[in-house]
Each structure stands twice: as structure tokens, then as C-alpha cells.
Amino acid sequence: MIRKRSLSILLAASLSLGAITASAAPVAPAGNQNSEQAFDNKIVKRIKVENIYNHIAELSKNPRVAGTQGEKDAVDYIKSQFESYGYETELQPFTISSYTEPSLKELSIDGNELETNTFTYGVNGEVTSKLVDVGFGAPSDFEGKDVKGKIALIQRGGFSFAEKILNAENAGASAVIIYNNADGVINGTLGEPNDDYVPAVAITQEQGLALKARLDSGETVTATLKIEGAKSEMATSHNVVATKKATQKSTNQLILVGAHHDSVDGAPGANDDASGTATVLELARVFANSPTDTDIRFVTFGAEENGLLGSYEYISKMTQEDYDRTVGMFQMDMVGSKDAGELIMYTNAGEKNIVTDLGAAAGARLANTGEAIPYGEGGRSDHVPFAEVGIPAALFIHAPVEPWYHTPEDTLDKISLDKLEEVSKIVGAAVYQVARPDTPALTKAKVAPKEVDYVFEDRELE
């Protein structure tokens, strides 16, 4: 386990940035303003948005599901690009459990078909038997109930789907039907494969309560449940890591710039998240020959869609030294959709931090309007594991997300060059604000501030 960073260091860092944070935008008076822009231009003028677009075109040719050949092809492409820019590139392989959705899932009650859903990592099987209502499916709920060879009807809530199914199996049930405890369908996961699972399907609250009422009235209800084609297997996913070492007197500090290269099943993932991955590549190309006094590490994570597994893996492999010297993590996820909302910086706990300060300041400088990007509270991407261990991190994303999110329609034709340009320049300028040789280590910043306020926005991701 990595030791938690002492509050005093964090405080020192944020306090020193106070000069910047309080003003949120280190935009210096006129003379300085020009020098600020001159510095920004060292990076932003060299960004070629068509390069980002072409990377997206390449990466979104096929879905990149973690652990599959589609992801491995993307990993090889990303590695070859980093190496073509002169980076020593490291692959971090890690084992995941990957899941193939069933090709067939059926549920009929007394011969009548019901709409149904299955659970990720659920197992195949065909069972026809009587239904037994067992409440929430806690071990005590099975006491005095004969479920041997029968189908357990279970309500959602209280504990995980996996526990409910294992409790039913333990009591001798041959299958499980779980009904929702709210409107809508259940899109659930069991978290990981397990040979002890019995076949299980999910139905709506309305369907479940109707069945429960029939059972409560003493009626016998027979169900047939059939699942085919599901497959859980262990597979290997990868993180791709390329580090640019400081070229001049090093502050020994490290900044992370990340995105995830995997996509969900069936989705080309042009925006989620080939757009972020492509922007990481272009920033790596631009920074490759830039003078810096801070190490910059470009990382594309695998298996983000499986539960941020790549970024948790990265954290688990992080050395204490790297942990202590990492001053910020910039995550870009879904940064190029024509049909999404405006740019926002989400932090895990909805607080401002060094990364949002730098992002807002760069946004204000580049936008020339003095308008800063808002920040908000949001998880659901690879910035979360970093925030959880106390590393300042923020997610750059356009929200609310587009209707094509996680669908086969997440395609290249829906990508906006303007949005790619906006995010790549803001993140590039924000990172260079720290990494450029003339700005000393973050703790001793002396840049004259200009008041730019950036605000919290309670904006939903979807």
C-alpha cells in the first residue's frame, strides 16, 4: 500500500498556488500577458488538430474491448506512435476478466414471453421450474423455504447481485430472477466471473411485483429461463506509458496526461475515448522536443470500461517516489463530440485543485475572453483512482454527453475538430504552465496573477 501523502505537502503546494488559485488564472498584466501567450504558443501553435483526427480515424476502425484483439491492435498503434516521437514506451500488462454477452436470453412465465436482461459475468443455462419468492435473497430469507431445483424470485437492493445469486445457489436454487426496486431495466454486473453462479435474469419492478403478488396469493407460477452464448474468461489488457524527461534543471516533479484506449462492446468509440487517446498522442508529439523542467508522463489506460481497471493497475504499480513527485493528473475522456455539451472539468469530490486551477487559467488565456471553464463534481473515468490516493486530478469532458454514448453510432463523422482543438490547446497550455523551464517547481510559483474566477457548475454528465 502506498503511504498517504502528508497533508502539509499538499497544503504547501495548494497554498503556493494560492497566488494562482486565488486568481485562478495566472494571466499577467499586459507585458506578462504577451509573455504568457508567447509561452502558450510554444505548445498551442504546434498542435495539429488533423493529427488528432487521423488518430481517431485509425483507432475507431474497430471496437477496442479490453482483453480483445481490437484493444491489442490499438495498444500496438499507440506504442508505435509514441516511439515514432522518440519516447521510450512501456506496456503495463494486467489480467482482467472479460465477458462475451449471451447470444440468446429468454424468459417465459406460464408460456408467456417476458422482456429480460442478463448480468455481466452471468452464466449460461436452461431451467424450467416453479418460482419461489425469497425477498432480498439474504441467507436468512431462504430459511424455511424449499428452493431446491426451483427458481428464486429476488428483489434488488441491500447487497450485490452476485451475493444474491450465490446465496440462492447455496440454498439449492437452479436459477434466479431479480426484479428492480425502481423504474426501468437493470443493467447490472456481477463484478467478476464465478463458477458457482446459477443462470440469472433481470426483470422490471412492475413485472416482479406482479409475480410476487401471484405467489403471495398462493398461486403456483412456473418459469422457463434460457441463456446461451455467454462467456467469461481471463484476458490481458494493457496500459501504455510514455515519459518525457525534463530537458533542463529538473524540479523532479511529474505531471500525468491520460485517456483510456478501450471501448465498450459494439461501439467504435470515436469519442469514447479515441478522442482523448488521440489528443494524448498529439500532445506527446508536441512536447517531445519542448524544453521542460518537469517530467510529463503520457498514459493511455486499458479496461476503463471494465471499472477503471487500468488506472487502478497504474496506481498499484506506482513507486513511492513517483507518488510523492506527481503534482497533477489531467484526464481527457470524450473530448470531441459535435453533439455533446460544453467543456467542463470534473473532480471526484467536486473541489477545485491544482489541475482545475491550471485548466481554468489556460482556458481564460486562450479564450481571450477571460471566461474560464467551469468545474463540477464527477467520477466515472480514470481520474478517480488518482483522486482517491490524494493526487490532484481532473477529468476534461464535454457534458452532457452525446446521445451516441456507448452505442454503435459513436463514429468518426460525429467528431468536431473545434472541440478537439479547444481541449488539446487548453490541456497543452495548462501542462506547459508548470513544465516550462521558467516556472519553478509548483511550490515556489511567482507568476503575477490576474483575477479570473471560475465557478462550480452542477452539470449532469448524462
Please identify, using beta-carbon distances, which residue of 195 and 462 lies nearer to Zn ion. 462
Spatial CB neighbours of 452, under 8 Å, sequence gap ≥ 6 = 23, 24, 25, 27, 360, 361, 364, 370, 372
Rank residues 122 and 269 by Cβ distance to Zn ion and give the closer one.
Answer: 269
Give the cell for residue 62.
Answer: 474497430
- Segment lying near Zn ion (by CB under 5 A), choices 199-207, 215-223, 329-337, 431-439: 329-337
Output 14 or 381, the one with its CB closest to Zn ion. 381
| Contact code string over 270-309 relative to Zn ion, x by CB under 5 A | --xx------------------------------------
Applying CB under 5 A, the span of 50-58, 66-74, 332-340, 402-410 interacting with Zn ion comes to 332-340
**Where does this chain touch Zn ion (CB under 5 A) — which range of 72-80, 269-277, 284-292, 383-391?**
269-277
The answer to whether 366 and 452 are in contact (CB under 8 A) is no
Least distance (Å) from Zn ion to the CB of residue 262?
Answer: 8
- What minimum distance in Å lies between the beta carbon of 59 and Zn ion? 13
Give the residue from 201, 134, 131, 204 showing the smallest Cα distance to 167.
Answer: 134
What is the rounded distance in angstroms from the CA atom of residue 251 to the CA atom of residue 363? 25
Stretch touching Zn ion by CB under 5 A, among 188-196, 267-275, 345-353, 383-391: 267-275
Closer residue to Zn ion (CB): 272 or 357 = 272
Spell out a b/e string for 275-296, using b for 16 or more CB atoms within 10 Å of the CB, else e: bbbbbbbbbbbbbbebebbbbb
36 lies in the site for Zn ion, by CB under 5 A: no
Q: Which of 40, 133, 313, 333 binds Zn ion (CB under 5 A)?
A: 333
CB 181 within 8 A of CB 216: no
Choose between 166 and 397: whose C-beta lies nearer to Zn ion: 397
Describe the crossing of helices 69-84 and 275-287 by its angle, rounded to 10 degrees.
20
Q: Is 379 helix (H, G, I), strand (E, B) or coil?
A: coil
Q: Which is nearer to Zn ion, 295 or 333 (by Cβ)?
A: 333
Q: List the end-to-end C-alpha distance of the chain, in Å, as a whole number.
A: 34
- The burial of 411, by beta-carbon neighbours within 10 Å (0-12 exposed, 13-18 middle, 19 or more buried), is given as middle
Please state the closest distance from residue 405 (CB atom) to Zn ion, in A: 9
Residues that bind Zn ion (CB under 5 A): 272-273, 333
